[in-house]
Amino acid sequence: MIGMVLAEMYSFLWFPDSRKAAPLQMWQFEFGLEHSDSEYVVMMDADMLHHPSFLRKLLPHIVYSPNIAFVQIPQPFYNLPPGDPLNHLTSMFYDKVLAHRDTLGCATCFGTGTLFSRRHLNQIGGFQPQSITEDTTTAYALFREGFRSVYLDEKLQIGLCSWTYEGYVQQRTRWGRGAILQFRSTWRAMLSRAASSTLLSKSSTYYLQSIVNFEGYCIM
């Protein structure tokens, strides 16, 4: 297969699309962790272009702070339609909400552009499969263990947003379903007697964020 040939030529892992029992993306993450031993892990979409200074700017936040589990950056796009009518940029979320969550140490992971500490991932058993939005579910599991995050508000990556309205709705529907699955799998831990007040406050802001994932239905 051409993928295997290219993997040997350019030294990257080739993931065989053979396991269909769970979301493919989740298996890709697990496959990457199983077949690597690096101290840090980057979550990156294939269409995203990263600035050469990406690692140099993110690594210090996690290397010198043992309680920081991951660092997240914004997701800008280079194919936005004029005026961004579907709010792909979600400027309020990136510029205001995440900046505020950063002050609490609980800015969530939302996929591409995230740098994880493998040590922290290992402590929660790797990426979390309870939801089809494994990025936010994994972040919540890390917060539940008392770890923190950093949101670095710098445009260090750029990629593609959905080309069509149909693609937009499919994407937002997936995010909305993921929020429901995540709530179903974690609400007991959030409201248990063992949960600290800090976890409860973080969880409250965390679940409020999930409302954004249903904006596709509002626009429809």
Prediction pTM value: 0.81
Give DSSP secondary structure letters for 87-108.
-TT-HIIIIIIHHHHHHHT-PP
Mean pLDDT, range 41-56, rounded to an integer: 93
Q: Using the predicted structure, report yes or no on whether residue 27 has a pLDDT greater than 80.
A: no
Written as six digits, the tokens of 20 are: 């269909």
- Identity of residue 166: E
Residue partners of 150: CB distance under 8 A and separation at least 6: 61, 62, 65, 68, 70, 71, 72, 102, 105, 107
Q: Which of 75, 72, 113 has its CA nearest to residue 91?
A: 75
- pLDDT attached to residue 155: 94
Q: Using the predicted structure, report yes or no on whether residue 149 has a pLDDT greater than 80.
A: yes
Q: Which of 6-10, 16-20, 30-34 has the lowest mean pLDDT?
A: 16-20
CB 113 within 8 A of CB 75: yes
Give DSSP secondary structure letters for 114-183.
EEEEHHHHHHTTSS--SSS-HHHHHHHHHHHTT-EEEE-----EEB---SSHHHHHHHHHHHHHHHHHHH
- pLDDT attached to residue 93: 82
- pLDDT attached to residue 190: 65
* CA-based end-to-end distance of the chain: 41
Residue partners of 211: CB distance under 8 A and separation at least 6: none
Mean pLDDT of the chain: 81
The predicted-structure confidence for 61-116, as pLDDT tens digits, reads as follows: 999 999 999 999 999 999 988 988 887 888 888 888 889 889 989 898 988 999 99
CA 118/CA 33 separation, integer angstroms: 9
C-alpha distances in Å from residue 44, one per residue of 73, 145, 196, 219: 11, 24, 32, 28
At residue 140 the predicted structure's pLDDT band, cuts being 50, 70 and 90, is confident
The predicted-structure confidence for 3-13, as pLDDT tens digits, reads as follows: 566 666 766 66
Q: DSSP label at 53?
A: T
Residue extents of the structural domains in the chain: 24-163
Q: Which CATH class is domain 24-163?
A: alpha beta
